[in-house]
Structure 1
């Protein structure tokens, strides 16, 4: 995120930019960590930072809601519903939006489970995920957006999961 200054309402006047787009515009070189150095970023007052994501845990009748990923990475693996936080959006708004987009369920936040920040949790780059436990308000389960499928799974018989979602579910079961 790039911020020039604060507006009169004390909100930052920001523009979110993908690091890859910045890299492509610098010297018109293909993005590569080897080509894009910290020195080049500093020259333009740009600093690399992790991407912010959210994941939602929805339990219904002792089963957990999972989506089958439509895209890489982990295409065709099952995962917790979630995704990237958009600019100008709170993490709370993002998790409710992402769960609805991917599963068709309207939800409300019950509690914060935790923050997962291992730099190697996502092969696309360093992402930090804030994980919430949610209650269903309304809707029926149907796959949408980045989900190929959505369904409920027995907590004792989970499929192979994407990212670090197995660890997240283990933490959820310990703190339930």
Structure 2
């Protein structure tokens, strides 16, 4: 009998914890549009929370239509490609330049082939470094472009919310 009561208590406790955790997750999932955008609207005309949610939805749609930007799509856009296939051109050009320079130095030293080989290796390494720098620059440009698009959307969203009687910061 004691074991059965303990089992029922354990199952009941486990279910209560699950319900509590699920409720917490649902509360987090119900974040308002403005807070997900990092915009803070104050209902200066006494708008209710339901009215504010409705206004935020309307302003989100309006800002998306006006700017052509959907912050959800911008945030989910894939990063620029990277990996061994990217930057192959820089490596090849570096190897060619290095081979030519190495051959010239090798001709002076009396071994054109060895000079060209050493120059090609050094040029490939320099080309790889250039490829990495190019990838980093492209990634930064893409990140800056995303941030600019989100700022533009947020300005439109804020303008709409201000038009509906909110103070936006």
Fold in common (TM above 0.5): no
Highest relative contact order (Cα 8 Å, sep 6+), 1 or 2?
2
Q: Normalising TM by the smaller chain, what interval?
A: under 0.3
Question: As a proportion of its length, which structure holds more strand?
Answer: 1
TM-score (norm 2): 0.17
